[in-house]
Amino acid sequence: MTLHPFPACVEDVTAPRWFTYPFCYEPHPLCVAAADELRRYIEQREEWKDELQRGKMLGVLVVTKGSERGFLAAFSGTLDGKTQHEYFVPPVFDLMAPGCYFQEEEAAISDINRRIALLESSLKPSPLRAKMDVELSAYRQFMQQSKAERDALRKTISPDEMGENGRNLIKESQHQKAEYRRMKQAWEQRVFDDEVLLREHQNEIALLQKERHERSIALQNWLFRQFTFLNARGEEKSLLELFSPAIPPSGAGECCAPRLLQAAYREGLQPLCMAEFWVGASPTNEVRHDGHYYPACRSKCLPILTHMLVGLDVEANPLLADQEKLLSQLHIIYNNGELAVVSKPAGMLSVPGKDGMPNVQDALKTAIPSAKGPLIVHRLDMDTSGLMLVALTEEKYHDLQDLFLHRHIHKVYHALLEREMPVGEEGVISLPLRPDFDDRPRQMVDKKHGKPAETLYKVLANREGHALLELSPITGRTHQLRVHCAHPQGLNNPIVGDRLYGKAADRLMLHAYAITFEGITFEDDEDIT
């Protein structure tokens, strides 16, 4: 592991007072300088060029060692098929180390997979089954024909003649049914005797599958115990302890941030600030842009980093700042006793969350104590500002829900995008969306499992290098407008200030400008530019 020096141009840059809050941050100038140095290094490595062009998350951690200041670098997962390279910090636990138990046990499980595949390829039913099906089918047809002839004969026999003749017809039917049962049992016995080897292979496969399952679970738990993480106090916890009682997600502990902090603690370095950034092309489903900085993922890293940051002076969550200011910026612009239209400021939740942050629902319960019913009919993202419809009675709540369900409520947003676009350009973006289960609340494009999502867009103007768009969602998926603007298969042009899909800024430049229902249009003419 190498402590990398900074260029002379940042020697006078003051270190931050607080360590980075990793789930929402603006990269410190020292992190930006470290990231630039890291990019210069990887650009010299031709053997990594193709892989990095396909996309990779990298990270930097600014540290001090005595009077010396420098930075550490990390990559997520593997690079060039390896978990370790000279320039970067080592993994928290090296799965690929020679002689590692994980490699040996994984090879044994792979061997079981090969044995199962080989046995499955030999699973062929007895050829007697086909012959049995043909003969039994032919006899069933014979029985059906005989039944039809008996039914026809019964119609020609008078009631006086039916006695003995009727009994004979019944005996014939019973005999044919008994003969079919005897024939079927005989065939099944022949097939059973001929498939002894098939059943042996099936039983062997079942035993191998059971062994594979047990060894996989045991190996997974062993691996979770090997991933142990330090914090600034020297305390250590494993993945099993950090995620208990849940099962840690795949890849937990292999991201940049845990690697960087673990390396710093092991070497006795003092962390100052940290940042993670993307290089290369965006993944097909996710939204990542080359050179953009991204917060740590919550599903894999929140429990880990919450522990690892203990003992550091970490900056406050920026999303929790200025709560009273947000409440003062919430405006009721219409109230008829049944419903209200409110203008929500950026940074405020629509409904109560886990952190006790200000939200529209609680604020309105205080502002309109006479309100009855659920209140919130639809939501805006916390980072989005603009108009929301609010029900003040339960009856109106259901009425508005029905209008939304049948798409009788029309919403128009204004958005400022990172780059200019041709004025007047318009069209439809259609990209199905689903939650990114490994990194909530992010959403991702998934053409197989995603829900349909459509957005109308029109470029209104260009202002100081940014395109001003009018966006009209046809559907109402979470983060729909943000993903449709940012995704390479959408506009490939993130909304300014989009900390999840673009670059963080003072605020997300997305504003719910107008809402129309029951022939009435409300507008909020806030100028987001």
pLDDT band at 97 (very low <50, low <70, confident <90, very high): confident
Residue 133 designated active-site: no
Residue 119's closest CA among 197, 19, 66?
197
Q: What is the pLDDT of residue 327?
A: 85
Average pLDDT, integer, range 435-458 = 92
The one-letter amino acid code at 480 reads: Q
Please determine whether the domains at 322-394 and 407-529 fall in the same fold group of CATH. yes
Residue 334's closest CA among 380, 286, 389?
389
* Parallel/antiparallel/unpaired status of strands 510-517 and 385-391: parallel
Token pair listed for 46: 């031709």
pLDDT over threshold 90, residue 197: yes
For CA atoms 334, 337, 338, 344, the dihedral sign is positive
1, pLDDT greater than 70? no
- CATH superfamily placement of domain 407-529: Pseudouridine synthase (3.30.2350.10)
pLDDT at 141 over 80: yes
Q: How far from the centroid of its chain's Cα atoms is residue 197's Cα?
A: 45
Q: In the predicted model, what is the mean pLDDT of the chain?
A: 93
Give the integer Cα–Cα distance in Å for 294 and 297: 9
Written as six digits, the tokens of 380 are 């805006």
Catalytic residue among 313, 355, 381, 383: 381
| Residue at 365: amino acid letter | K
Using the predicted structure, report yes or no on whether residue 8 has a pLDDT greater than 90. no
Helix axes 298-308, 256-266, angle to 10 degrees: 20
CA distance 451 to 478: 11
Q: Under DSSP, is residue 132 helix (H, G, I), strand (E, B) or coil?
A: helix
Q: Please tell me the distance from the alpha carbon of residue 257 to that of residue 115, in angstroms, as a whole number.
A: 39
Q: Domain spans of the chain?
A: 8-93+234-315, 102-123+201-223, 128-194, 322-394, 407-529
Which element (helix H / strand E) includes 50? helix 49-53
The pLDDT of 74-95, averaged and rounded, is 95
pLDDT, tens digit, 9 for 90 and up, residues 63-80: 999 889 999 999 999 999
pLDDT band at residue 318 under the 50/70/90 scheme: confident
Task: Say if residue 127 is preceded by a cis peptide, omega within 30 of 0.
Answer: no
- Class of 322-394 per CATH? alpha beta
Please give the pLDDT value at position 298: 86
DSSP lists the bridge partners of residue 73 as: 60
pLDDT given at position 429: 97
Q: If you average pLDDT over residues 289-311, what whole number do you get?
A: 94
C-alpha–C-alpha distance, residues 467 and 393, integer Å: 40
Res 352: pLDDT: 87
Mean pLDDT of 52-70: 95
Q: Which residue has the tokens 């103007």?
A: 461
> What pLDDT digit, counting tens, does each position of 499-514 carry?
999 988 889 999 999 9
**3-class secondary structure, 293:** strand
Instruction: Count other C-beta atoms under 10 Å from residue 491's C-beta.
Output: 24
DSSP string, 332-383: EEEE-SSEEEEEEPTT-BSS--TT---BHHHHHHHH-TT--S--BSS---TT
- The C-alpha atoms of residue 217 and residue 359 are separated, in whole angstroms, by 42
Dihedral angle of Cα 441, 442, 447, 449, to the nearest 10 degrees: -20
Q: Alpha carbon of 519 to those of 411, 443, 515: distances in Å?
A: 13, 33, 10
**What is the pLDDT at residue 357?**
80
Three-state SS for 481?
Answer: helix
Mean pLDDT of 415-426: 97
Q: How confident is the model at residue 320 (pLDDT cuts 50, 70, 90)?
A: confident
pLDDT band at 99, cuts 50/70/90? confident
User: Is residue 201 within 8 Å of 276, Cβ to Cβ?
Assistant: no
Q: Of 104, 105, 84, which is closest to residue 94 (Cα–Cα)?
A: 84
- At 355 the pLDDT is 67
- Measured CA to CA, the distance from residue 485 to residue 502 in angstroms comes to 10
pLDDT of residue 462: 96
373: Cβ contacts below 8 Å, ≥ 6 apart? 391, 392, 393, 394, 395, 396, 397
Residues 6+ apart with CB under 8 A from 263: 1, 61, 72, 74, 89, 90, 269
pLDDT in tens, 350-392: 998 766 788 999 999 889 988 887 789 999 999 999 999 999 9
DSSP classification of residue 157: S
- Give the whole-angstrom CA distance, residue 347 versus residue 250: 32
Which tokens is 461 given? Answer: 């103007």
In tens, the pLDDT along 28-50 reads 999 999 999 999 999 999 999 99
Long-range contacts of residues 183-187, Cβ cutoff 8 Å, at least 24 apart: 183/135, 183/136, 183/139, 184/136, 187/128, 187/131, 187/132, 187/135, 187/136
Average pLDDT in the 222-245 region?
96
What's the CA dihedral at 475, 477, 483, 488 to 10 degrees?
Answer: -60
